């Protein structure tokens, strides 16, 4: 099964689906810095990705056995197939140093797949129903900035606190935004509408998504109910950044997907119902279906940015932080100016700590450069829930004197992001306690 490396990577999603269908168990892991950095440093035979204890003891990999000469080292040979390069690594396997707590790695693997990855990229693998050469396991590396990563996260409904998991291929194939009872009810509605010729009426019923503010309020209510709190006040939430990430990336998105599925499923059924045969519908209705799914993708991306901004505004308000949203400053319109546009832009007598600029970006990419390059004698903060910011982007932010504000869990040592050792990256907890309450008391009205 030798195949050119570039040719294999030209259609990675098809390759992923092919090997998922050949597996009886799947392993997904968000790669940490140490899981991949060795590939950029020359690496050696002992280099590889970390195997969490739960996975090591799950039976997914072969049983570890102690070496006779060094009993503290437990290892197991595990030949592996790497579809992206087309090679079988006959000497790959697990090495566990029992005298170093939980240090266990899968070693002797293709370094080129792990080199130059963006933070929080993915390792997907599986145990094969039928061997590939002598290999019982396969693995693929998926860069977090790729389309395949986006498809993977959507298909499996990956939550913001995900690190690793073993799961069945059936979950990969049948992931849904709604549970089985809701799905059966929706299918029944669509079937009845098609039989009675009322699909237009059903399409009208589900044609509009709830107002974004309504979705946001519902998500915050769900979160507050789950933690037993009555307010979104950042000084009453232990980890305000994690709360923002969970509400915007997980809770609200789950609510959104339920409404989205109803709307899009009816729209697809309406297109297909216009033709007598499935083949005719696929060909004649392709343009309409393509437009429909493109619209769905664009709507998702637009919603994500507005969602995070909305929840951050609610948190600032609940905490008594003085701010003005979308105020014009020079050639830019940052999400929030603290306390207001007049103070930031016009008050020539104020001190540096009497004002601040805060922008919000769900994902950074290059869009953080839209914030401002003009200086207004105040600090500029950029809030995000993105764990994929590259070291180059972090260096650019530092050079631009923009401080990155991230959820508390993304600033911890063992997280997959690159934030832990970067002094220019602070947590939301530090932002509220240090940058606002201690350094800029005038910006906060505490009741």
Q: Are residues 311 and 328 in the same domain?
A: no
Closest CA to 309 of 403, 419, 384: 384
Residue 176: band (very low, low, confident or very high) from pLDDT cuts 50, 70, 90? low
Tokens of 133: 């050469």
Q: Higher pLDDT residue, 300 or 117?
A: 117
Q: Are 435 and 357 in contact (CB under 8 A)?
A: no
CA angle 296–302–307, rounded 5-degree value: 120
User: In this structure, what token pair is assigned to residue 399?
Assistant: 């050079």
pLDDT in tens, 17-39: 999 999 999 999 999 998 999 99
Structure-token pair, residue 318 = 């609940």
Pairing type for strands 324-325 and 336-338 reads antiparallel
In this structure, are 380 and 424 located in the same domain? yes
- Do residues 269 and 199 touch, judged by C-beta distance below 8 A? yes
Asked whether residue 169 falls in the same domain as residue 278, the answer is: no
pLDDT over 90 percentage in the chain: 61
Give the 3-state secondary structure of residue 64: coil
Instruction: Say if residue 157 is in the same domain as residue 217.
Output: no
- Regarding whether 55 and 165 lie in a shared domain, the answer is yes
Asked if 147 and 295 sit in the same domain, the reply is no
Domain end, chosen from 285, 318, 351, is at 318
Do 31 and 147 fall into the same domain? yes
pLDDT score of 275: 83
Residue 166's closest CA among 180, 156, 174? 156
Q: What is the pLDDT of residues 195-246, one digit of tens each?
A: 999 999 998 998 888 888 899 999 999 999 999 888 999 999 999 999 999 9
Sign of CA dihedral 433, 437, 443, 447: positive
Check whether 370 has a pLDDT greater than 90: no
- Structure-model confidence comparison of residues 275 and 46, the more confident one: 275
Please indicate, yes or no, whether residues 20 and 169 belong to a single structural domain of this protein.
yes
The count of domains in the chain is 3
Output the pLDDT for position 328. Answer: 85
- Among 132, 154, 174, residue at a domain's last position: 174
Nearest residue to 70 (alpha-carbon basis) of 48, 98, 90 = 98
Q: What is the pLDDT of residue 6?
A: 40
The predicted-structure confidence for 287-313, as pLDDT tens digits, reads as follows 888 888 777 777 776 666 688 999 999
Does 107 share its domain with 219? no
Confidence of residue 83 (pLDDT cuts 50, 70, 90): very high
- Looking at per-residue pLDDT, the higher value among 280 and 79 belongs to 79
Q: Which two tokens stand for residue 235?
A: 């000084």
Report pLDDT for 1. Answer: 36
The DSSP call for residue 434 is I
C-alpha–C-alpha distance, residues 280 and 276, integer Å: 7
User: Above 70 in pLDDT, residue 391?
Assistant: yes
Q: Which of these three, 174, 198, 227, is where a domain ends? A: 174
Task: State yes or no: pLDDT of 159 exceeds 60.
Answer: yes
Residues 133 and 202 in one domain: no
Please say if the pLDDT value at position 271 is more than 50. yes
Lowest mean pLDDT among 117-131, 161-175, 265-279, 290-304: 290-304
CATH of residue 415 = 3.40.91.80
- DSSP secondary structure code for residue 332 in this structure: B
pLDDT for the residue 139? 98
Residue 68 and residue 170 in one domain: yes
State whether 161 and 27 are in the same domain: yes
* 114 or 366, which is more confident: 114
The enclosing domain of 162 has a CATH number of 2.40.330.30
Domain with 247, as residue range(s), is 182-318
């Amino acid at each position: 099964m030798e195949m050119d490396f570039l040719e294999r990577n030209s259609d990675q999603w098809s390759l992923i689906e092919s090997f998922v269908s050949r597996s009886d168990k799947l392993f997904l892991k968000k790669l940490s810095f140490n899981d991949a950095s060795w590939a950029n440093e020359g690496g050696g035979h002992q280099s590889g990705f970390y195997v969490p204890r739960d996975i090591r003891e799950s039976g997914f990999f072969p049983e570890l056995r102690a070496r006779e000469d060094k009993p503290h080292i437990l290892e197991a040979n595990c030949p592996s197939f790497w579809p992206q390069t087309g090679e079988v690594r006959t000497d790959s396997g697990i090495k566990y140093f029992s005298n170093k707590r939980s240090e266990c790695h899968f070693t002797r693997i293709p370094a080129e797949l792990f080199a130059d990855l963006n933070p929080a990229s993915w390792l997907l693998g599986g145990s094969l129903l039928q061997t590939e050469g002598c290999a019982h396991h396969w693995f693929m590396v998926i860069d977090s900035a790729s389309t395949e990563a986006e498809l993977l996260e959507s298909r499996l409904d990956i939550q913001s606190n995900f690190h690793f998991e073993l799961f069945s291929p059936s979950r990969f194939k049948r992931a849904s935004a709604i549970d089985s009872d809701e799905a059966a009810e929706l299918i029944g509605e669509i079937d009845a509408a098609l039989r009675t010729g009322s699909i237009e009426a059903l399409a009208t019923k589900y044609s509009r998504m709830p107002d974004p503010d309504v979705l946001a309020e519902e998500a915050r209510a769900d979160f507050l109910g789950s933690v037993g709190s009555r307010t979104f006040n950042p000084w009453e939430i232990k980890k305000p950044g994690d709360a923002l990430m969970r509400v915007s990336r997980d809770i609200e998105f789950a609510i959104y997907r339920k409404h989205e599925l109803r709307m899009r499923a009816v729209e697809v059924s309406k297109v297909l119902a216009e033709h007598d045969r499935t083949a005719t519908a696929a060909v004649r209705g392709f343009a309409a279906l393509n437009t429909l799914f493109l619209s769905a993708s664009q709507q998702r991306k637009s919603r994500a940015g507005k969602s995070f901004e909305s929840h951050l505004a609610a948190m600032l308000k609940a905490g008594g932080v003085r701010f003005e949203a979308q105020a014009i400053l020079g050639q830019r319109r940052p999400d929030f100016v603290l306390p207001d546009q007049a103070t930031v832009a016009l008050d020539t007598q104020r001190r540096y700590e009497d004002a601040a600029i805060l922008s919000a970006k769900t994902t950074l990419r290059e869009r953080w450069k839209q914030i401002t390059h003009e200086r207004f004698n105040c600090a500029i903060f950029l809030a995000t829930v993105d764990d994929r910011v590259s070291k180059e982007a972090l260096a650019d932010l530092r050079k631009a004197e923009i401080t990155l504000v991230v959820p508390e869990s993304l600033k911890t040592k063992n997280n997959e992001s690159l934030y832990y050792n970067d002094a220019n990256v602070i947590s939301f907890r530090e932002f509220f306690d240090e940058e606002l309450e201690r350094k800029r008391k005038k910006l906060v009205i505490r009741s």
